[in-house]
Structure 1
Amino acid sequence: MLLPHSGAAQDAGNAGSAPSARTAFAPVPFKVGESLEFRLQAEWFLVRGHGTASLSVDALDTLRGNPTYRLSFRTKGGITVFKINDAQRSWLDARKLFSHRFEQKLDQTGYKKERTYEFFPGEMRFVSLENPADSGTLASAIPLDDVSFIYFIRTLPLKVGDEYTAARYYKRDGNPVTVRVLRTERIMLPAGEFDAVVVKPIIRTKGLFSEGGEAEVWFSNDARHIPLRVRAKVSIATLTMELKSVTAGPPQ
């Protein structure tokens, strides 16, 4: 199946909003103020380390006249030979569920990176603010980045056996992005016991969902599709995130 242009989630998360602009928002299973806190474990051979991670919907911003969800994904921790401090943000269009901007500040053992990309779908181009030579042509008029990809997956039906694929990653060499729905499980986490659906997301890059990283994500098997657990290989270590707490956010 091709990745759809907008979500098919059960819970719009914006019901009862007064401004008329909100009536055109795509249905999504999250809302502003949602915050997910995770326990992070890093493993290298038999050596283990710990840290924290979080996913959050920080605000509803206006970017170049477009209502956007400001999303954050942060990880911090590691082991003796591998440390990571990664802060990523994405601005996801609230109407059509594509990214307008992506930022990352990464500091991990042996490697540092800062990058900011601005996406201009109407002109089919993206611009790197730190490195103009890294600017280029968008692969899609509805581009996704590493963080918006996670939230977009939450809007899909996620039925076991389904596979979604499309050239929606903003850089051409990261495509096609693929979402494979593998199985269902019941899992115990620090936040409690959950029915989960296990998904294998693939982006052809060196990030969390790289093709060779063997990443899997456990989402709650309900309308909200909350990320519960993430397991992936990053550089020399295997990272596992497990949900500790959920803040749903205020009524909207």
Structure 2
Amino acid sequence: MSPLPSLHRRLIAAALAGALASVPVPAALRAQPAMRAAAVATTAVRGDAAPMADVLAALPFGVGERLEYDAKVGPFRAGRGHMEVVAVEDVRGRQALHLAMHVSGSALGWKVRYQLDSWVEPRSFSSLRHTQDNLEGRTVRARAFEIFPDRGVFASGDDPESPTVANPLDDGSFLYFVRTVPLVVGQTYTFDRYFRPDRNPVRVTVARRERVKVPAGEFDAIVLQPVIKTKGLLSESARTEIWLSDDSRRMLLKMESHLKFGTLSLHLRSLQGTKP
């Protein structure tokens, strides 16, 4: 894997410094100097001072990236899915990256749909808005959240505002956030950043490296095991594994989630707009 340019590394570190500073770091991780530097760096280029174009350029993904997937339930092809960096959009007067993950299909009479849309402020990589439109069989879960990191609250519909955490993230934005974090095989990373505080911590275990073959080609991959106390693809009960490309792009190549109706898997079919 080729090293990231120096400015690229500093911008990522700066943009994530505030986000990672409050994250409990495992003892084994603290022993890694490069990881410690990425977690606490605040010098060189500060995320809150850098031009937005530089902050966006430092991320491993950019507007226009679209990853398309074949969806399977067990061995049966069941549908399609995609992950997309849609655009930079205005959310309450702030620039936000619109990130989307949509999966739909059916197999053996069971229909599924997962539509996660997230709007993330790129400097702190914090969620500002999140919507879910999920279907499993006959169960529909549709929610919309407005998240206010500056005030430390979130709201859904007519429900009263509830407290959130510093630098909050939602289900969909976590899949992009983890692409920005340096990852060491054998380590478990703990993040108290899920926007609903009672569902923290989020844990991501870096299980192994392996070569993986998907319709889009054959790639070196790093395999993650994320756990979020939520429902759906990333829930604790789903025992999800995620294969990310073992390069600077950290593209999602494959995902397997063990759901109550069977194992739902995504396999990268095509990619466009990815960074070099």
Q: TM-score, normalised by structure 1?
A: 0.85
- Three-state SS of the structure 1 residue aligned to 2:236 is coil
User: Aligned partners of 1:21, 1:172: CA distance in 2, in Å?
Assistant: 29
Query: Which residue does the alignment assign to 2:30?
Result: none
Q: Tell me what 2:4 maps to.
A: none
Aligned to 2:110: 82
2:67 corresponding residue in structure 1 = 36
TM-superposed deviation, 1:49:
4.5
Q: Secondary structure at the match of 2:166?
A: coil
Q: Distance in 2 between matches of 1:24 and 1:52?
A: 31
Corresponding residue to 1:158 among 155, 158, 183: 183
Look up the match of 2:270: 245
- Moved segments of 4+, more than 4 Å: none
- Aligned match of 1:132 in 145, 149, 159? 159
8 A Cα contact 1:26 1:95, kept in partner: no
State how far apart, in whole Å, the 2-side matches of 1:66 and 1:24 are.
14
CA distance, structure 2, for counterparts of residue 186 and residue 249 of structure 1: 20
What aligned pairs does 1:16-35 form with structure 2 within 5 A after superposition?
Answer: 20-25=51-56, 27-35=58-66
1:1-252 equivalences in 2 (<5 Å): 5=19, 20-25=51-56, 27-43=58-74, 48-129=76-157, 131-132=158-159, 135-138=161-164, 140-248=165-273
CA contact (8 A) 1:82 1:237 kept: no
* Alignment RMSD: 2.3
Alpha carbons 2:249, 2:274 under 8 Å: kept: no
Q: Do the aligned residues in 1 keep the contact of 2:56 with 2:62 (CA within 8 Å)? A: no
Amino acid at match of 1:75: V
Richer in strand (by share):
1
User: Which residue identity does 1:127 align to in structure 2?
Assistant: A
Question: Equivalent pairs: percent with the same residue?
Answer: 36
Q: TM-score, normalised by structure 2?
A: 0.78
Q: CA-to-partner distance for each residue in 1:108-149, whole Å, 9 max, x for gaps?
A: 3120121110001122110002x516x4211x1211101000
Higher RCO, 1 vs 2 (CA within 8 Å, ≥6 residues apart): 1
Unaligned segments of structure 2, at least 5 residues: 1-15, 21-34, 39-49
2:60 and 2:275 in contact (8 A); partners too: no
What amino acid maps onto 2:143 in structure 1?
R
Q: Which consecutive residues of structure 1, in runs of 5 or more, have no partner in the other structure?
A: 9-18
Aligned residues: 233
